[in-house]
Amino acid sequence: MAEMTIRRFGVFSVAKMYGLLLFVFGILIGVIYGLMFIGLGLSMSGLEGAEGAGFGALGGVAMGVLFMIGVPIMYGVFGFIGGAIGALVYNAMAGIIGGVKFDLEGVAQEYAPPPPPHQWAPHQQPVQ
């Protein structure tokens, strides 16, 4: 096993990755909450005789669509900023403490190596 140490992270690289990761989570969360708001808004439109039911239904649907669009963007931006700050703090602490150590283990090869190359000899007569 080989022991390795992570001394520093690329700040922009970590920020991009963390921003994209939280953007994907934001899509999942935004769709779930957005569908809940749309469902509640549509259920309000079924109230007969209730004053303002149509306006409440429109507001619920609009809020659901805004959640589906806004939450992923917000999560992505905050993830990018949080990833950059986290990488900067890690780099500062790794300079003081020395970084995170981990062990790597080699994997056995599952193929046979190719045969050695043939030697080329000039001016040989072909075998008959």
pLDDT score at 30? 95
Q: List the chain pLDDT tens, one digit each, 128 residues.
A: 788 888 899 999 999 999 999 999 999 999 999 999 888 888 877 666 666 666 777 888 889 999 999 999 999 999 999 999 999 999 999 989 988 888 888 777 677 778 888 777 777 676 66
pLDDT reported for residue 91? 93
Helix axes 11-45, 53-97, angle to 10 degrees: 160
pLDDT of residue 114: 80
Q: How many CA atoms lie within 13 A of 47 on its CB side?
A: 13
Cβ contact 102:4 at 8 Å = yes
pLDDT (tens digit per residue) in 4-18: 888 899 999 999 999
Question: pTM here?
Answer: 0.70
Structural domain spans, the chain: 11-104
What local confidence, expressed as pLDDT, does residue 47 receive? 63
